[in-house]
Amino acid sequence: MTERKPPGVSYESWVEKQIRESTERGGFEDLPGFGKPLRNLDRPYDEMWWIKEKMDREQVSFLPASLV
């Protein structure tokens, strides 16, 4: 857990400092997907993308079993 933002420091510079320090400690190394392209960048934006992905991961359908 990080410390609280000190008074008088802008939120952006405080966050940037946290990210920089973590990068220096190696906190972002060995993350899954590191160095791989982001999926679905070539598709148009869909506001419900996360719901569709969750339903696909959980193998859930909003259709009745007889229609699936």
> pLDDT tens digits, residue range 5-36?
677 777 677 788 888 888 899 888 888 887 88
Q: pTM to 2 decimals? A: 0.43
Residues 24, 18: Cα–Cα separation, whole Å: 10
Residue 67: is its pLDDT beyond 80?
no
**C-beta separation of 46 from 52 below 8 A:** yes
Q: How many CA atoms lie within 13 A of 21 on its CB side?
A: 7
**CB-count exposure of residue 5 (10 Å: 0-12, 13-18, 19+):** middle
Q: Could you tell me if 36 and 45 are in contact, meaning their C-beta atoms sit under 8 angstroms apart?
A: no
Question: Any idea which residue has 């972002």 for tokens?
Answer: 28
